[in-house]
Structures are given as C-alpha cells and as structure tokens.
Amino acid sequence: MTKTMFKKILVVEDDRKTLSSLYTLLMQHGYEVQTLTEAEYIFQEVTAFNPHLILLGALSHGSNGAMICAALKSAPLTSKIPVISVLGSKQSLVKLYENADCSPDDFIMKPINAQVLLNKIEYRFIAN
C-alpha cells in the first residue's frame, strides 16, 4: 500500500488536455481521482466523492475559480478541504484573487511541473 492510497482528489478544470494530464499523473501516483469540467456541479461532486483535496482551474466557461474557491471556503461542508489553484500565469493569479473573498491554500502555474505539484499535494495532506 502506498502512502497516497485512499487519498481522493477532485480536479475541476475546463481545459480537457490539462484535465487529462492531471488525471493520469495523479492516478499513476496512487490517488483516487474524480474530474469535473463544469464548476456548477462542484458541491454535488464533493458530497458524492468526499475529496481530501481539490485542484481548481481558473475556469472560463461561465465560472470563475476565485468565486468557486470563495464558495468552497465559506461552506461548512467544504471549508476544511485544501484547494490548490491551477493557473496559466502569475497575472491570472493576481487578476482572479486580488478582489476575491478567498485565496487558495496553494497554487501552481502551467505548464505544470509534475514533481512540484506532487510535492504541494503531499504537503497539504501533511499540513491538514
């Protein structure tokens, strides 16, 4: 049994290429992974899947990653779940989160360095 066994990660990303890459990477490292391309279903998915961590893309199709993050962090059901934001640039980090009521627990920039992401995930599991 690996150290990641039974750790569940919900990946919310509307870019299918990024979503597929993240899914493959996380599965290969022993995580149980659920993916979601539409953030409007995030609370239903969290209830059904009960993730230990959420990877949240910036999102562009009618949703905003910062608004979703704020909703997750303000809801009792999801407030303790670590959120790692997946962003295209530092400018998008500032743009998305400068006026948000929430900031993610951590973030990672695209192109994603697999080892950096895995380290950030493990750190979040240790910290929580």
Asked whether residue 98 is assigned to any structural domain, the reply reads yes
String of DSSP letters for 9-64: EEEE-S-HHHHHHHHHHHHHTT-EEEEES-GGGHHHHHHHH--SEEEEE---SS--
What confidence tens digit (pLDDT) does each residue in 22-75 have?
A: 999 999 999 999 999 988 889 999 999 999 999 998 776 666 777 888 899 999
Query: How does the average pLDDT of the chain come out, rounded?
Result: 87
Residue 6 is predicted with a pLDDT of 82
Q: Does the pLDDT of residue 5 top 70, yes or no?
A: no
What is the model's pTM? 0.89
Asked whether residue 19 is assigned to any structural domain, the reply reads yes
Asked whether residue 47 is assigned to any structural domain, the reply reads yes
CATH code (residue 16): 3.40.50.2300
Q: Does the pLDDT of residue 2 top 70, yes or no?
A: no
